[in-house]
Amino acid sequence: MSSRFENAVDNFLAQIGQSIFRITTLNRIWKAFMAFCMCIITEAFRRRGYTITPQNCAGGFLFKCFPAGDPDNYSYFTAEKGSERYEIRLSIDAQNFQYSSLKLNLDVAIIRANSIGSNRIVDSQNDLITFAECKNLRGFPELVATLEGIVYELQRARLHRNSLANFRIPCCLLLSGSGRSILYMDRRYQNRNMSIRIFESLQPGSRAVISFIRNWF
Amino acid sequence: MTEEDFRKICRKFADKLGPTFIERVERRIKEDFEKALERSPKELLIAIIEDIHLRFVLPFEMSLQISAYLAELYDIKDYILALSERHYLHLSERQEEIKRFVDSFYRMVKELGLEEQFRKQEERWWEI
């Protein structure tokens, strides 16, 4: 006869492979983290007095969790306060035209309203307000190197000391897992007053999410 | 639970989730699965459950919170994850199923005596 713990394990495992818990879906469900990050970012704007309006969502909110495709075929939020009018979007291509940089796809991008060009690219020098890279992982050093590489290509002045003076909203690396091995870099960014942050353990219902919403900018 | 119990449970996960999953766990613990199973089956089980929690369970928990957030603040009842131009995952209509899956994970964790490591967190961050 099976023990209680075996029954509990069997009950859980029995669901894997069935319905939406097929392995093909399980291997891609991590992309829900991008959608989750979009929501907590939107909430951070709402808490700061921005008026949030969902757009393109007549048939439900369609999260764009892959790089290709026309951004205007998917849902997004607008955030407005005074003269500031931004769009909060997922999987947007950005490029710094002044430096002829690499064209990079950003997980979450906050851009000036109506700034996506006919080529579906945002000019990061002029129209990218901030962005977030979302990793449903534990943090490791290569993720920081990647983030700094993206920053270098798109908004390299963020890498300077005191860049917060020019970039009010830090771009960030958002992790669902622990960032223990890389959080010293976040402290370094803060000590240098740089407009870059790392947030860890962003799990549904956790205090870390509330802390992000309160302290991001 | 005895060490042998932990070994038995580790084997159940390995049999169900296959070699790709085991390779990922080996990368996480930086040790061969069989050696870890022999040396410290409880540590191995925790590593297995950590991986399942982060990769499979948390994203579904996120989907439950996304659903509540969109419905309560913006009166949006349906949402879809577009994984590619042709592959859409309709999650809002599967909330009950997802909830059962998530609950069964936390029940399992409790029965295994690991609830301290994997405590369900339920703050509604859009209300605080």
Domain ranges of chain B: 3-111
Grade residue A1 by pLDDT with cuts at 50, 70 and 90: low
Assess B1–A contact: CB distance below 8 Å, yes or no: yes
A:76-135 residues touching chain B, CB 8 A cutoff: none
- Residue A67 dihedral angles phi and psi, to the nearest 5°: -70, -35
Would you state the pLDDT for residue A70? Answer: 96
User: What is chain B's pLDDT, residue by residue, as a tens digit (128 residues)?
Assistant: 899 999 999 999 999 999 999 999 999 899 999 999 999 999 999 999 999 999 999 999 999 999 999 999 999 999 999 999 999 999 888 999 999 999 999 999 999 999 988 988 888 999 97
% chain A with pLDDT above 70: 100
Assess A65–B contact: CB distance below 8 Å, yes or no: yes
What is the C-alpha separation between A106 and A124, in angstroms, rounded? Answer: 11
β-strand partners of B89:
B81
Q: Which uninterrupted H or E stretch holds A111?
A: strand A104-112
Q: How far is CA A191 from the centre of its chain?
A: 23
β-strand partners of B80:
A62, B90
Scanning every residue of chain A, which has its alpha carbon at the shortest distance from the alpha carbon of B14?
A13
Shortest alpha-carbon distance between residue A203 and chain B (Å): 7
Q: Which of A97-101, A195-199, A203-207 has the lowest mean pLDDT?
A: A203-207
Would you state the pLDDT for residue A22? Answer: 85
Q: Which of A6, A9, A24, A52 to mutate to test binding with chain B, by most B CBs within 10 Å of its CB? A: A9
* Residue A112, helix vs strand vs coil: strand
Would you state the pLDDT for residue A126? Answer: 97
Asked if residue B79 lies in contact with residue B67, where contact means CB atoms within 8 angstroms, the answer is: yes
In the numeric block, the tokens 């947007």 are attached to A92
Buried/exposed code over B31-68 (b: 16+ C-beta within 10 A; e: otherwise): bebeebbeebbbebbbbbbbbbbbbbbbbbbbbbbbbe
Per-residue pLDDT reduced to its tens digit, B73-107: 999 999 999 999 999 999 888 999 999 999 999 99
Nearest residue, CB atoms, B66 vs list A8, A36, A207 = A36
Mean pLDDT of A120-134: 98
Question: Are residues A60 and B84, on separate chains, in Cβ contact within 8 Å?
Answer: no
Question: Are residues A64 and B60, on separate chains, in Cβ contact within 8 Å?
Answer: no
Per-residue pLDDT reduced to its tens digit, A146-199: 999 999 999 999 999 999 999 999 999 999 999 999 999 999 999 999 999 999
Q: Which of B23, B58, B92 to mutate to test binding with chain A, by most A CBs within 10 Å of its CB? A: B58
Nearest residue, CB atoms, B92 vs list A10, A60, A203 = A60
Assess A58–B contact: CB distance below 8 Å, yes or no: no
Question: Are residues B83 and A28, on separate chains, in Cβ contact within 8 Å?
Answer: yes
Assess B68–A contact: CB distance below 8 Å, yes or no: no
Closest CA to A7 of B70, B72, B104: B104
What is the C-alpha separation between B126 and B73, in angstroms, rounded? Answer: 8
* CATH T-level topology, domain A30-215: Restriction Endonuclease (3.40.91)
Collect all residues of chain A within an 8 Å Cβ-Cβ radius of residue B57.
Answer: none
Would you state the pLDDT for residue A157? Answer: 98
Would you state the pLDDT for residue B128? Answer: 79
CB atoms under 10 Å from CB of B103, counted, come to 12
Shortest alpha-carbon distance between residue B94 and chain A (Å): 8
Per-residue pLDDT reduced to its tens digit, A5-46: 999 999 999 999 888 888 888 888 999 999 999 999 999 999
Nearest residue, CB atoms, A36 vs list B65, B85, B111 = B65
The two tokens of residue A143 are 């993720």
Shortest alpha-carbon distance between residue A135 and chain B (Å): 11
Backbone Cα Rg of chain B: 17
Quote the mean pLDDT of chain A.
96
Which residues fall within 8 angstroms of residue A27, CB to CB, at 6 or more apart? Answer: none
The two tokens of residue A18 are 């069935």
Assess A69–B contact: CB distance below 8 Å, yes or no: yes
* Domain range list for chain A: 30-215
